[in-house]
Structure formats: structure tokens, C-alpha cells
Amino acid sequence: MPALLEIDRVTRRFGGLTAVDDVSGHVREGELVGLIGPNGAGKTTLFNVICGFTPPSSGEVRFAGTRISGLKPWRICRLGIGRTFQNLRVFPNMTVFDNVSVGAAGREGHSPLDALWRSAAARERSAAISRRSWAALERTGLADVAGELAANLSYGRRKYLEIARALATGPRLLVLDEPAAGLNDTETQALARFITSLAAEGLTILLVEHDMGLVMSICQRVMVLASGRKIADGTPEEVQRDEAVLEAYLGVAEEGA
Ligand SMILES: Nc1ncnc2c1ncn2[C@@H]1O[C@H](COP(=O)(O)OP(=O)(O)OP(=O)(O)O)[C@@H](O)[C@H]1O
């Protein structure tokens, strides 16, 4: 059986710069996989290729056996990949519930005209959106603030709102873009427990993250990028003693010194 997500020799160039260079990898159903790498390694670019925000220059991405590279982000979302954004894309003047139902509506193929038709199918779609939204809010601990404006939430809770919106799309694969950025140690530990619990429920997760500690403590497998190339792919223990990985991170540390 093919892996749920297959990255097949993906290259992405921006002019003369090769941001992602012939990268292959996969995520199997039920896995919690980390994607790490020093600054400028190509993580965000690869992430954007997977989610349809940028096309690959060559190579392809397949999801559940279907080629998805070249499809629009909303189509990829509807096929079952839910994503969060590194820079929070919460709508501050909408309620928490409405922010989440935007995600759920995207998955249901909800049309603004549904309210006009009032057909049985349109009513069923609205009910499904509401069900999915409440389930995602309950799961992320935000149900009690569903009626609040998103702007009134703390930064930490807005991170969960991002995740809730992705969960409301009913994803088979959840791709998290630096969810720990800007969180303190206590918040990061809580997030680690939360992500682990989602994985324990069977959700497949790809975690793109700067925080090595977080990735190493919760991921079953870790892929490492450096200068656009995949330099390692293994368990956290294997990756932590990999010469190429140590060199890539040490090199960056020495440059910064
Ligand atoms: N739209 C773009 N146009 C031109 N160059 C880009 C573009 N997006 C990314 N790059 C370049 O591609 C390389 C990889 O960047 P990318 O953001 O994917 O790395 P990253 O591993 O996510 O880095 P960071 O951890 O700093 O976010 C960098 O040299 C970056 O400047």
C-alpha cells in the first residue's frame, strides 16, 4: 500500500535559487513525522508545495495515491490535507466559532447561495459545518469561548484556533507549520501533549518545526532538510547522531557565532 503522502523528487526553484532540491519522502497513515532543518533549509517551501500554495518546478506530490501537485489549495484541503499557518491567519473581527466554521465550510463545499436555496442538501451541509466546528472547538478546548471575537483570545489560544480550523476540515493528514513559534516552555509542553493526543487518536500528522526539542520528543520519524536537500530521515535517535545533521546545524551555529 502506498504511503498516505508521497513526495516524489520534488524540486522548487525561485529564479536561480533552488529552495527544494530533488527531495523525496513520505508519511504513512497514522504516523507523526517531523520536518526540521536550519533557517533557509526549504521547509516552508516544501510545505507550500504539499499544500498547493506553490507548484513544484519538477517532481510531484501524491496524497492517498492521487497526484495533488498543481491542484489549488482548496482542492487539496477537500481531499483531506488540513494545514495551519506559521503566521496566524485568524480573522480577528470574527467570532471563534465563525473562524472555525470557515474551515468546515471549505471542506463541505458550502456555497453562500445555500442560504437562498434552503434545499435539504443545503440544510444538511449547514448542519455538518456546525457539527464539525463544535467538535473541533471541543477538541481544542475553545468551546467555552466560541462566541468571543478571535481578537480577544491570547496568542496561545489563537494557535489552538488555527489548529481547530484545520481540524474542522476533517483532515486525514494534518500539517502543522511551526505551531510552537512564540510559545513559552510551559505552553510548548502543553502543545506537545495535545499533538501527541491527536496522533494517539489515529490522525496522521506532519510537523514542520524549528523547536528541535518538541520534534525529537514527540515524533516517531524525522526528516531533515539542509540547503534544500534531504540529508536524513529516521527515528529521532538516528537523526540526532547523524553526522550530516550535526554538521548542518553546527555549521549554522558557527556561522552565527
Ligand atoms: N517566494 C520566494 N522567492 C524567492 N526565494 C524564496 C521564496 N521562498 C523562499 N525562498 C528562498 O528559498 C530558500 C528556502 O526558504 P524556506 O523559507 O523554504 O526555508 P525554511 O527552511 O522554511 O526557513 P526558515 O526556517 O527560516 O523559515 C531561502 O533561501 C529563501 O530565501
Atom of ligand 1 nearest to the CA of 208: 22
Q: Would you say residue 112 has pLDDT above 70?
A: no
pLDDT at residue number 6: 98
Tell me: the pLDDT tens digits for 7-45?
A: 999 999 999 999 999 999 999 999 999 999 998 999 999
pLDDT at residue number 118: 62
pLDDT at residue number 65: 95
Pocket residue to mutate for ligand 1, from 21, 45, 227, most atoms within 8 A of Cβ: 45
Tell me: the pLDDT tens digits for 158-202?
A: 999 999 999 999 999 999 999 999 999 999 999 999 999 999 999
The whole model's pTM is what?
A: 0.90
Atom of ligand 1 nearest to the CA of 15: 4
Taking residues 233-257, what's their average pLDDT? Answer: 82
Q: Would you say residue 143 has pLDDT above 80?
A: yes
Taking residues 97-117, what's their average pLDDT? Answer: 70
Residues within 6 Å of ligand 1 by CB: 14, 17, 19, 37, 39-45, 210
Between the CA of 42 and the centroid of ligand 1 the distance, in Å, is 6
Mean pLDDT of the chain: 90
Q: How many CB atoms lie within 10 A of CB 66?
A: 9
pLDDT at residue number 129: 84
Between the CA of 228 and the centroid of ligand 1 the distance, in Å, is 9
Q: Would you say residue 113 has pLDDT above 70?
A: no
Q: Whose CA is nearest to atom 2 of ligand 1?
A: 14
Distance CA 162, CA 168 (A): 10
What is the sign, positive or negative, of the torsion defined by CA atoms of 214, 231, 235, 206?
Answer: positive
Given a contact cutoff of 8 angstroms between Cβ atoms, the answer to whether 153 and 89 are in contact is: no
Q: List, in sequence order, every residue forming a beta bridge with 223; answer none if it has no partner.
A: 35, 233
Instruction: List C-alpha distances in Å: 225 to 24, 36, 39.
Output: 11, 6, 10
pLDDT at residue number 212: 86
Tell me: the pLDDT tens digits for 248-257?
A: 887 655 555 5
Pocket residue to mutate for ligand 1, from 13, 35, 44, 209, most atoms within 8 A of Cβ: 44
